[in-house]
Amino acid sequence: MFIKNRDILLNENIPQKNLELRRILIDVLERALDAVKPKILIKRAVIIDKDQLKIHNLSLDLTQFRRCIIIGGGKASGAMAAELENILISYGKIPFNGIINIPKGLEIDDKNFSGRIKLNFASHPIPDDDGINGVKNMMDLIRNTSNNDLIFCLISGGGSALLPLPMKGLTLGDLKDVNSLLLASGANIKEINTIRKHLSAIKGGRLAKAANKNGEPTIISLIISDVIGNRLDTIASGPTVPDQTTYEDAINYLKKYKIFDRIPENARKILLSGYKKEIPETPKKGDPCFLKVHNLIIGSVENAAKAAENYLKQNNIEVRYIQEKIKGEAREYGLNLFKIISQFIEENAKKVKTDKFALIGTGELTVTIKGGGIGGRNQEMLVSFLNSIKNKEINYNFLILAVNLDGIEGNSKAMGALIDNSILNKITNENIKPIFFLDNNDSNSFFKKIESEIITGPTGCNVNDLILILIQL
């Protein structure tokens, strides 16, 4: 079981009609998380049959390689490495070693992990020296590779912060300052990663470029996506993917959010030098360094959504997808969600075969931070929703659960939260004002107060967010 505060969420004081819906969606969430466990995703994707390595449509003869190197980083990459190690040990015919950067405090649940792949603990979401040292060790490994070496690059969400290597002329402090400004600006992940790529010596395809310095190794990037649309060049800032963005794009995004003049002077100098073509751009499509690179997505939020859908259907609940690329400001989406639900009920209530139906949404919202509270994007969205409906008459039972599947959202210790009719009644009866918490970006304090935050701790999973809505007419 992932959810640690299940007893609180299902306590006996909750009205039975709401409790039933909670039990269903909490069980759905457990199954959704199981479906995106990194170990499961690697095990399903990576097959060695005799001497043939098979991953999706890729097939390689392992006897052609003298050794295998495993590098990478992200919230899920440690568990990915542990399972890949198990597969390579079982095969037993190719020597391997490597290093992976993973978040500090993350535990790898694999008693058989031998340590041939070193787990280097680094800071997230703000990079640190430990992260830089880990990347430097990775670069030392790949710079000495040749044509008959195989490199596995394990990438998952969080890789942008966990794989820091500043461009020459930048310090770690510069990167930290830029990241802090970006995270508070309201910029989306594509915009943030465009800037990160152009201040990094590893992102935006530069890892692939570095690996080709003395030879042409085969690179297989196994990727768990945490971005909308699964864009390869955006996930962890695409270290082995041709970059479509430019220094000019990075500068324009910083100006869009009015922080170009606030970033460190060293960072501005790098970006302006790139804009003036005084230093090389990130490698683009057609660069020879990508000829033997295979970027393969082995998991995404779609795996979690499908598992949720299957379980709901097994329980006689009709399922619809409201949106598969949810994005935008969390507060605004919360305001619009009641309209989305109401419209869906109006159009579909007579079509459903049972009295319950579910809506599934995936994506990632953003928060423009203006207050000093504790919270996260899904929690903020749910508080905004409650604030918008607090004076409305709701003539059906509802439950909305919105979570960041990696287990930690924003600066809180919750993965998200759930709300239902009992919560709506509680804030009315106790005169709790959601707007107070909303205006201070203090959504987690709100959910602590009403005891409906969802606590798992780091799950080791890292894909897009999941929104589950259950309606009982």
What is the location of CATH 3.40.50.10180 in the chain? Answer: 38-165+200-245+282-299
**So what's the architecture of 38-165+200-245+282-299 in CATH?**
3-Layer(aba) Sandwich (3.40)
**Span 410-438, average pLDDT:** 95
Q: Residue 3: which of 403, 443, 466 has the closest Cα?
A: 403
Give the HSE-up count for residue 220: Cα atoms under 13 Å, Cβ half-sphere. Answer: 21
* In CATH, 6-36+301-472 is 3.40.50.880: no
CB-based contacts of 426, cutoff 8 Å, min separation 6 = 432, 450
Contact 239, 205 (CB under 8 A): yes
Residue 391 pLDDT greater than 90, yes or no: no
Sign of the C-alpha dihedral, residues 271, 273, 277, 278?
A: negative
CA 24 – CA 464 distance, rounded (Å): 21
Angle between helices 172-185 and 265-275 (to 10 degrees): 80
Characterize 49-77 residue by residue with b for buried, 16 or more Cβ atoms within 10 angstroms of its Cβ, and e for exposed.
eeeebebeeeebebeebeebbbbbbbbbb
Q: Which residues pair with 61 in a beta bridge?
A: 52
CA 256 – CA 258 distance, rounded (Å): 6
Residue 348 pLDDT greater than 80, yes or no: no
Model confidence at 388, pLDDT cuts 50, 70, 90, reads very high
Residue 423 pLDDT greater than 90, yes or no: yes
- Residue 85, CA distances (Å) to 67, 272, 353, 421 in order: 13, 43, 48, 47
Alpha carbon 264 to its chain centroid, in Å, reads 27
What is the location of CATH 3.40.1480.10 in the chain? Answer: 6-36+301-472
Which pLDDT belongs to residue 352?
65
Instruction: Record the tokens describing residue 77, joined without a space.
Output: 């990459």
Alpha carbon 289 to its chain centroid, in Å, reads 27
Q: What is the DSSP letter of 252?
A: H
Model confidence at 349, pLDDT cuts 50, 70, 90, reads low
Which pLDDT belongs to residue 125?
79
Which pLDDT belongs to residue 353?
67
Work out the burial of residue 403: count CB atoms within 10 Å of its CB; fewer than 13 is exposed, 13-18 middle, 19 or more buried.
Answer: buried
Residue 215 pLDDT greater than 90, yes or no: no
Contact 467, 307 (CB under 8 A): no
Which pLDDT belongs to residue 356?
87
Q: Residue 308: which of 4, 41, 25 has the closest Cα?
A: 25
Which pLDDT belongs to residue 124?
85
- Mapped onto helix, strand or coil, the DSSP state of residue 273 is helix
Contact 456, 4 (CB under 8 A): yes
Q: Are strands 356-363 and 58-61 parallel, antiparallel or unpaired?
A: unpaired
